[in-house]
Amino acid sequence: MLIRIRQLTKTYTMGTEKVHALRGVDLDIAKNEFVAIMGASGSGKSTLMNILGCLDQPTSGTYDLNDKSVHKMSAGSLSQVRNEEIGFVFQSFELLGRATALRNVELPLIYSRKRFWGSTKRAKEALHKVGLGERMTHKPSQLSGGQKQRVAIARALVNGPSILLADEPTGALDSKTSEDIMALFQQLHKDGQTVIIVTHEEDIAGYAKRIVRLKDGRILSDNPTDTDPIHQDFLKRSLESAQRAAGVPDSSNSAQRNRDQEEEEKTLGAEGKPLNGLLKIPAAVPIVAAGAMTALLAPNQPVPTPLSPDLCVSVLNSNQQLPTPPGGLA
Ligand SMILES: Nc1ncnc2c1ncn2[C@@H]1O[C@H](COP(=O)(O)OP(=O)(O)OP(=O)(O)O)[C@@H](O)[C@H]1O
Ligand SMILES: [Mg+2]
C-alpha cells in the first residue's frame, strides 16, 4: 500500500483552546489511485493533505508512506521524504514571480539531492508534459491562470513524486480552465501517477475514481465515484436541469415522455428528427463535466450514437456548437 493511515489525529492548540482538526482517520490509498477529498469548510481536508504531503506531523496515529513510518520522522527526514515523494499543487499556484516558467519548474531539482546536469532538460520535459513547451521563458505575470497552474503542476512532477497532491487546484480558475486542468490530472493518472485532490466542487470530484468525504475531522464516506450516492445524485440533478433548460422532456416522467414521443412521431414519422447540429445551450445551464459524464456510462460502453440532446447538453459548454458524433448524426 502506498499510503496507510491509522487512527490519525491532529489537534491544534490555540492558547487554552484545542481545535480537533482530525479525530481518528483510517485511510489506505494504493499506487495509481485518483482520489478526491471533499467536505465542508473546516472539516479537516487541508490538515489531512498537509500531513499526507509531509508538511506537518499528526498529533497521534500512524502514517506509512511507501512502507516508511512518516509519523516517527524528524523534521529533517520529513523534508527529505517530501522532496523525493511528494508533488504539491496549491489553489494560488505559489510560483516565484520574478522567475521564468522554466526556472520555477527547475527549483525543486536545484533544492533536492537529485540535482544533476540534466535538471534543465527534466524541467523542459515536465513543461512539455503539461502542454507548456511554448511558454518556458514567460514569467507568471505573462501567463493565464490555467497556464500558471500548469507550471505549478510541472514543478510538482519534475522530481518524479510518488504522489501528486493538489489542494483545491481549480479554486482560482474559471470553469472551462478548471476542466482543462482536471483533464490534465486525468491524463497524468492514466499515465500511472497517483493523484489526490481536495475540492469543494462535485463536478471536479467527478474526474477522480474515488471520493473520500470528511466531516468534523472524521471520514464520513469513502466510495468509488461511480457508486458514491451524493455524487450520483448530483449527476442526476445536473442532467435533469440541463434537460429542462434544453426543453427535453423529464426522463423520470416516462408516461409523459411516451405521450410526447407519440406526438412527435405523429408529426415527424417514427424515425424522428435528426438532432440539430447547431443547438445552442443557454448560458445558465449547469454543465456536467465531461469527466463526470463518463461516470454515467458503464465502463467500455461506447458513447451512444446519435448523441442524444441531454448527453450533448451535459458535455458541452454554453455557446459551443454540437460536434458531429462518431458515426454522424441520425
Ligand atoms: N494552524 C492552525 N492552527 C489552529 N487551527 C487550525 C490550523 N489549521 C487549521 N485549523 C483548524 O482546523 C480545522 C480544520 O481546518 P482545515 O484547514 O483542515 O479545513 P478544510 O477542510 O481544509 O477547510 P477549507 O475547505 O475551508 O479549506 C478548522 O477548524 C481550522 O480552523
Ligand atoms: Mg482547506
Between 270 and 46, name the one with better pLDDT.
Answer: 46
Between 323 and 101, name the one with better pLDDT.
Answer: 101
pLDDT of residue 247: 81
Q: Which of 227, 256, 284 is the last residue of a domain?
A: 227
Residues 6+ apart with CB under 8 A from 5: 25, 26, 27, 28, 52, 61, 62, 63, 64
Q: Is the pLDDT of residue 81 over 80?
A: yes
Q: Which residue among 12, 51, 57 has the greatest number of ligand 1 atoms within 8 angstroms of its CB, and so is best to mutate?
A: 12
Claim to verify: residue 56 and residue 193 sit in the same structural domain: yes
Claim to verify: residue 17 and residue 162 sit in the same structural domain: yes
Can you read off the three cell numbers belonging to residue 30? 494504493
Q: Which residue among 43, 91, 204, 214 has the greatest number of ligand 1 atoms within 8 angstroms of its CB, and so is best to mutate?
A: 43
Q: Per the domain annotation, does 303 fall within a domain?
A: yes
Claim to verify: residue 88 and residue 216 sit in the same structural domain: yes
Q: Which of 210, 227, 244 is the last residue of a domain?
A: 227
Q: Report the predicted TM-score, pTM, of the whole model to 2 decimal places.
A: 0.78
Neighbours of 249 (CB within 10 A): 17
> Taking phi first (over 0 means left), then psi (-120 to 50 degrees means alpha), and beta for anything else, what does residue 80 get?
alpha
Claim to verify: residue 189 and residue 247 sit in the same structural domain: no
Calculate Rg over the CA atoms of the chain: 23
Apex 172 CA angle, 58 and 218, nearest 5: 30
pLDDT of residue 141: 96
Claim to verify: residue 59 and residue 203 sit in the same structural domain: yes
> pLDDT tens, 47-60?
999 999 999 999 99
> pLDDT tens, 277-292?
333 333 333 334 444 3
Backbone φ and ψ for 143, nearest 5 degrees, come out as -120, 150
> pLDDT tens, 204-215?
999 999 999 999
Claim to verify: residue 34 and residue 161 sit in the same structural domain: yes
Claim to verify: residue 80 and residue 185 sit in the same structural domain: yes
Q: Is the pLDDT of residue 36 over 70?
A: yes
Claim to verify: residue 286 and residue 178 sit in the same structural domain: no
Find the domain containing 290 and state its range: 232-315
Q: How far is the CA of 285 from the centre of ligand 2 (A)?
A: 28
Residues with CB under 6 A from ligand 1: 12, 14, 19, 21, 39, 41-47
Q: Which of 227, 257, 288 is the last residue of a domain?
A: 227
Claim to verify: residue 32 and residue 168 sit in the same structural domain: yes
Claim to verify: residue 148 and residue 236 sit in the same structural domain: no
Which residue has cell 442532467?
A: 239
Residue whose Cα lies nearest atom 16 of ligand 1: it is 44
Q: Per the domain annotation, does 326 fall within a domain?
A: no
Backbone φ and ψ for 61, nearest 5 degrees, come out as 95, 175
> pLDDT tens, 87-138?
999 999 999 999 999 999 998 887 776 656 788 999 999 999 999 999 999 9
Residue whose Cα lies nearest atom 12 of ligand 1: it is 21
Residues 6+ apart with CB under 8 A from 9: 20, 22, 23, 24, 25, 58, 59, 60, 61, 217
What would the mean pLDDT of 273-277 be, rounded to a whole number? 35
Q: Where are the beta strands (DSSP E) in the chain?
A: 3-14, 17-29, 34-39, 60-65, 68-69, 86-90, 163-167, 194-198, 210-215, 218-224
Q: How far is the CA of 33 from the centre of ligand 1 (A)?
A: 25
Q: Per the domain annotation, does 96 fall within a domain?
A: yes
Number of domains in the chain: 2
Q: Is the pLDDT of residue 202 over 60?
A: yes
The number of the ligand 1 atom at minimal distance from the alpha carbon of 50 is 18
Distance between CA 244 and CA 300 in Å, rounded? 28
Q: How far is the CA of 42 from the centre of ligand 1 (A)?
A: 5
Distance between CA 28 and CA 4 in Å, rounded? 5
Claim to verify: residue 208 and residue 251 sit in the same structural domain: no
Q: Per the domain annotation, does 324 fall within a domain?
A: no
Q: Per the domain annotation, does 242 fall within a domain?
A: yes
Q: How far is the CA of 51 from the centre of ligand 1 (A)?
A: 12
Q: Is the pLDDT of residue 217 over 50?
A: yes
> Which ligand lies nearest to the CA atom of residue 44 in the structure?
1
Q: Per the domain annotation, does 105 fall within a domain?
A: yes
Nearest to 225 by CA among 250, 187, 197: 197
pLDDT of residue 194: 98
> Which ligand lies nearest to the CA atom of residue 56 in the structure?
1
Claim to verify: residue 190 and residue 252 sit in the same structural domain: no
Nearest to 71 by CA among 166, 6, 136: 6
Backbone φ and ψ for 274, nearest 5 degrees, come out as -65, 150
Q: Is 2:31 a contact under the CB 8 Å cutoff? A: yes
Q: Per the domain annotation, does 258 fall within a domain?
A: yes
CATH of the domain at 200: 3.40.50.300
Q: Per the domain annotation, does 160 fall within a domain?
A: yes
Can you read off the three cell numbers belonging to residue 180? 482543462
